[in-house]
C-alpha cells in the first residue's frame, strides 16, 4: 500500500480484524461480520524507513488503526478501512512547506496609504464646525 512518495507498507504488516457491525440492519447484520478494523503496528514495522517511523511514532503513537462499518459487505468495508488507514498515515507523514515571508509591493503600500488618507478626510468632514 503506497502511503507517500517514498513510503510503501506491505499489506502483510496490516492486521485486519472483523466483527459484527453495530446499528440497524435486521437479520443480515446479526449474522455477518461486516465491520472491519485495520491495525498497523508502527513500532515493529520492517518496511518503514527510520525517518518515517520516527515521525509516525511522534504523531500517532505505536499503533494506528481505522474502522469501517459503513457498507453491508465485508469486502467493501475492508477497502474503506484500508483507505482510511492510508490517509491517516499519509497525513501524519506530511510536512508543511516553510513559508517565506513576503513584502508588500510599492503599489500595494500606496493603495493602503491612499485609503488611510481618504478615511481621515471623511472623518474630518464629519466634525462639527469650529466656533471662533
Residue 29 cell numbers, joined: 447484520
Domain ranges in the chain are 2-93
Question: For residues 88 and 42, what is the distance between their CA atoms, to the nearest angstrom?
Answer: 12
Question: What is the tens place of the pLDDT at every residue in 35-85?
Answer: 999 999 999 999 999 999 999 999 999 999 999 998 888 999 999 999 999
CATH topology of domain 2-93: Double Stranded RNA Binding Domain (3.30.160)
* pLDDT attached to residue 117: 97
Q: Are 41 and 62 in contact (CB under 8 A)?
A: yes
Q: Which residues have C-beta within 8 Å of that of residue 57, sequence separation ≥ 6?
A: 42, 43
Question: What is the tens place of the pLDDT at every residue in 101-114?
Answer: 999 999 999 999 99
* pLDDT attached to residue 49: 93
Amino acid at each position: 500500500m503506497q502511503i507517500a512518495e517514498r513510503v510503501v507498507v506491505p499489506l502483510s504488516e496490516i492486521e485486519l480484524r472483523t466483527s459484527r457491525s453495530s446499528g440497524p440492519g435486521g437479520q443480515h447484520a446479526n449474522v455477518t461480520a461486516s465491520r472491519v478494523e485495520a491495525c498497523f503496528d508502527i513500532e515493529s514495522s520492517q518496511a518503514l524507513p527510520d525517518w518515517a517511523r520516527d515521525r509516525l511514532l511522534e504523531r500517532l503513537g505505536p499503533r494506528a488503526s481505522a474502522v469501517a462499518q459503513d457498507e453491508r459487505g465485508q469486502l467493501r468495508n475492508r477497502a474503506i478501512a484500508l483507505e482510511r488507514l492510508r490517509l491517516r498515515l499519509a497525513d501524519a507523514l506530511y510536512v508543511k512547506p516553510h513559508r517565506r515571508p513576503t513584502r508588500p509591493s510599492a503599489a500595494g503600500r500606496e493603495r493602503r496609504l491612499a485609503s488611510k488618507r481618504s478615511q481621515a478626510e471623511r472623518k474630518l468632514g464629519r466634525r462639527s464646525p469650529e466656533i471662533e
